Structure 1
Amino acid sequence: MKNKKIVITGGPGTGKSSIVHKLEEQGEICLHEISRQVTLEAQKEGIDQLFLTKPLLFSEMLLEGRLNQFAEASEAASDHIFLDRGLPDVVAYMDYFKTDYPEVFNKTCENNRYDQIFILPPWKDIYQSDNERYETYEEALKISSYLYSTYKRYGYNPIEVPKLTVEERTNFILDKI
């Protein structure tokens, strides 16, 4: 049985994690964002912001981690599974930061296809920065536009999730799958 792989994406501080947690509360299978984990592991090694210090290494680690998640999602014993960010997110961030990357990044995105993409728009009222989220709101706006264009470049038609309560946004997503 092929399951449906559903990505929830959006710029920093758009409410992705809150929605993923709400989906889990409702019994949905979700795979969590891994960039914070990669960042925290680098901080333990004494590198404050790996993405800023060694962006290609950070992105290679993210691509590998998200590819592993893609494989894990493919094996899930469920008719659908949610992923907090997808492979094209890595490329979008690299493009945003104008960092060169090898062609394998594009090939990985082209060869590992998701079934549905939900994108959360920038929302100033809920945006907050923290230890791992260093972007300003204005930077988050730009990153969001890169995410839209990158997913479209890979042939996706992202569904924009309206600015509603977490529960209403979660229900919107569930109604669309």
Structure 2
Amino acid sequence: MTAFLRGAIDLALDNHANAPRSNTQWVFFDRGLIDAAAAPQALDGTTILDTIAQSHRYHSRIFLAPPWPEIYVQDEERRHSMDEARAEFERLQRTYPALGYAVSRLPKIRVAQRADFVLDTLASR
């Protein structure tokens, strides 16, 4: 698990470093650096989260999608169970605010409506 988590952190660092920088367009990350860095801390107490969270900031508003049982599938790509997904979601709901982020929970609506929700939320701030 440790090698996987280190790989996830490295990938997230690379994605963050190479993301387009724009003042006119939004850039979105699915499963960002905070998610990756929070996992080792929850697993074995490794304390890299605070350092990474301070040096690699995202927009102050983040969006979390809860694990929805109706569409959740455990497979080769998503190996953890629904219970583990729920526990991770709950952990991230605590982690992001502790790091100074405002969290918006994505509503269970059609994808296009969800995209509108995100853009409308960002536009109103």
TM-score, length basis structure 1: 0.61
- 1:71 shift after superposition: 1.5
Cα distance per residue 1:24-82 (max 9 Å; x no partner) = xxxxxxxxxxxxxxxxxxxxxxxxxxx2xxx2x32222222211211112546853211
Counterpart amino acid of 1:87? L
Structure with a larger share of its residues in strand: 1
Amino acid in structure 2 at the alignment position of 1:169: R
What's 2:68 paired with? 123
Corresponding residue to 2:109 among 144, 159, 164: 164
Equivalent-residue separation in structure 2 for 1:61 and 1:148 (angstroms): 23
Q: Is the 8 A contact 1:117 1:157 kept in 2?
A: yes
User: What are the residue-to-residue correspondences of 1:107-118 with 2, within 5 Å?
Assistant: 107-115=51-59, 116-118=61-63
Across the aligned residues of Structure 1 and Structure 2, the Cα RMSD in angstroms comes to 2.0
Confirm or deny: 8 A CA contact 1:93 1:146 kept in the other structure. Answer: no
4+ runs deviating over 3 angstroms: 74-78
**Under a length normalisation based on structure 2, what TM-score does the superposition of the two structures give?**
0.83
Contact persistence 2:41–2:49 (CA under 8 A):
no
In the alignment of these two chains, the number of paired residues is 121
From 91, 103, 121, give the equivalent of 1:146: 91
The farther-off stretch of 75-84 and 114-123 is 75-84
Q: Secondary structure at 1:84's aligned position in 2?
A: coil
Note the C-alpha offset of 1:159.
0.7
Quick check: 1:151–1:157 contact (8 Å CA) kept in 2? yes
- Secondary structure in 2 aligned to 1:127? coil
Whole-Å Cα distance in 2 between the matches of residues 137 and 67 of structure 1?
A: 27
Q: Distance in 2 between matches of 1:62 and 1:152?
A: 22
Q: Which runs of 5+ in 1 are unaligned?
A: 1-50
User: 5 Å matches for 1:50-61?
Assistant: 51=1, 55=2, 57-61=3-7
CA contact (8 A) 2:37 2:48 kept: no
Deviation at 1:133, TM superposition (A): 0.9
- SS of 1:81's partner is coil
Question: 5+ residue gaps in structure 2?
Answer: none
2:28 aligns to what SS in structure 1? strand
